[in-house]
Chains A and B, each alone.
Chain A
Amino acid sequence: MQRAIALVDCNNFYVSCERLFQPGLEGRPVVVLSNNDGCVVSRSQEVKDLGVKMAVPWFRMRDLARQHNIVALSSNYSLYADISNRVMSLLSRFSPGQEVYSIDESFLELTGIAVDHTGYARQMRLTVMQHVGIPVCVGIASSKTLSKLANHVAKKNPRYAGVCDFNGMTEAELNGLLARIDVGEVWGVGRRSADRLRDRDIRSALDLKRAAAKHIRSGFSVVFERIVAELNGVSCLELDQVAPAKQQIICSRSFGTPTSRLADLEQAVIAYTTRAAEKLRQQRSLCGGIQAYIRTNPHREQDAQHQSSMLMPLPEPSDDTRLLCRAALHGLRSIYRTGHAYQKAGIMLTGIIPAAARPQTLFDDVPSREKSEALMRTLDRINRSMGSGTIRLLGEGTGKPWAMRRQNVSNRYTTEWDELAVCKAHP
Chain B
Amino acid sequence: MTGINLNLPLARRRAVPPSVLSMTHPNIELLERQRALLRKAVPAGFPSPADDYVERRLSLDEHLIRNKESTFFMRVSGHSMRGLGIFDGDLLIVDRSLPAAHGCVVVAVIDGEFTVKQLLHTSRGKVLRAAHPDYPEIVIKPEQDFTIWGVVQWNVHKV
Contact = CB atoms under 8 A, between A and B. Distances in A.
Nearest to A417: B73
Given A133-B96, A423-B92, A426-B135, A86 B70 contact: yes
Interface in B85-112: 86, 88, 91-92, 96-97, 107, 109, 111-112
10 contacts: A23-B147, A131-B67, A132-B96, A421-B114, A422-B77, A423-B76, A423-B77, A423-B107, A423-B115, A425-B76
Instruction: Select the residue from A362, A364, A413, A421 with max chain B CB neighbours within 10 A.
Output: A362
A422 B78 CA distance: 10
B78 A424 contact: yes
Given A425-B115, A427-B135, A130 B97 contact: yes
Instruction: Select the residue from A133, A363, A364, A370 with max chain B CB neighbours within 10 A.
Output: A363
Chain A interface size range: 20 to 34
A26 interface: yes
A414 interface: yes
Interface of A: 23-26, 86-87, 89-90, 130-133, 360-367, 370, 413-414, 420-427
Nearest to A366: B36
Interface string B31-70: 0110010000000000000000000000000000001111
Interface residues of B, number: 43
Nearest to B13: A363
A314 to B, nearest CB: 18
Interface of B: 10, 14, 18, 21-22, 28-29, 32-33, 36, 67-70, 72-81, 86, 88, 91-92, 96-97, 107, 109, 111-116, 130, 135-136, 147, 149
> Is the contact region of chain A dominated by helix, strand, or loop, or is it mixed?
mixed
> Is the contact region of chain B dominated by helix, strand, or loop, or is it mixed?
mixed
Contacts of A132: 69-70, 96
A425 B79 contact: yes
Contacts of A423: 74-77, 92, 107, 114-116
B14 A425 contact: no
B112 A425 contact: no
Contact of B116 (A26, A362, A425): A425
Contacts of B78: 424-426
